[in-house]
Amino acid sequence: MKFINLVNLSLLALSSVKASMYHASRITYYGGSSDGDSEKNPFCEDYSDRVPHDVGDIDYYVALSSEVLSKSNAREFCGKKIRLSNAENGRSLTALVVDKCGSCDYGDVDLSRKAFKYISNDQMSKGVLKKVSWCIEGGPSKFACSSSDSSSSSNKKTTKKTTKKTTKTTKTTKNSRSAGGVYIELEKGTRYGDVSKATSIKYYSGSAYVYIDDAESSSGSRSRVAAKVNLSKSGKYDIVVKYNNSSSKCRENRIIINDSNVYRINFGKTGSDWKKLTIKGVPFKSGQNIIEVRATDGKMSFDYIYIL
């Protein structure tokens, strides 16, 4: 009788571990040399300094469904560890949350190729796994791992190869305030002069980006785009500018705050990629602010400005 009780107790404990993890309907994979630029510009690089501009040097990473991961809750997921367990073969692993998956249904996960290969036991030809559950270490309550989940996770850890590649940090400086993450999608701003919306460069945020062609329009007006942003507190904030300079030389253009604080920036060449530049300690006032990209040389694209 005592033996039966012990067995029942063990089964209850096992059930509680499984119940604390979210069961995904579909687990798929992406990335690698055959998948274009899918490993560049991950959504989470703006929200966590653990996520680089190119995640190709990380072995185990994941993209969560865009119905789960969004701008409003990004800091609850991005750069955190996700535990996955495959009930079909008993394999489990820990990976890094780096991106969101637009084609995934709610709760489904897109893994790196190496992560999928391991958790499927080298069954890449399957393409889809349907018996995988997951949770986020320190994540929001619905998806958070319980303390008991740690006992069921394998020793297989998120690994990152040593690389000389450097990435810009998105941590705020010691004397800067934090706005909690405010995106200014520049295509929604007011455009003046020779500025247009465009969509030809891949991996932009929002509905489009802006392209500044000539520094002055044919009528002589300075080309620029201006947007309004409201902040609850005045102070110095760090901002991130996402830009593309596909020309063969550096281009100078300006970031201007409230028509008084002017930052002349010599933007380097980017080819067909987007790059990000951080400006630290930018003063803003409480209430409405005007942030502007104003042409000096023009001939550049700008996606957004992000206030950390």
What does pTM read for this prediction?
0.55
- Specify the higher pLDDT residue, 37 or 257: 257
Give the pLDDT of residue 176.
67
pLDDT in tens, 194-237: 999 999 998 787 789 999 999 998 888 899 999 999 999 999 99
Per-residue pLDDT averaged across 245-269, rounded? 95
Give the pLDDT of residue 35.
77
pLDDT in tens, 102-117: 889 999 999 999 999 9
Phi, psi of 20 (to 5 degrees): -85, -5
Q: Which of 135, 134, 158 minimizes the C-alpha distance to 27? A: 134
Give the pLDDT of residue 291.
97
**For all residues of the chain together, what is the average pLDDT?**
84
Q: How far is CA 115 from CA 21, 31, 229, in A?
A: 18, 11, 40
227 strand-pairing partners = 291
Per-residue pLDDT averaged across 276-290, rounded? 94
Give the pLDDT of residue 33.
77
**At CB < 8 A and 24+ separation, what contacts does 69-77 make?**
69/43, 69/97, 69/100, 70/100, 71/181, 71/183, 73/140, 74/43, 74/44, 74/46, 74/47, 74/181, 75/47, 75/48, 75/181, 76/136, 76/139, 76/140, 77/44, 77/136, 77/139, 77/140
How far, in Å, CA of 200 to CA of 111, rounded?
27
How far, in Å, CA of 223 to CA of 217, rounded?
6
pLDDT in tens, 12-71: 333 333 447 899 999 999 988 777 778 888 999 988 989 998 899 999 999 999 999 998
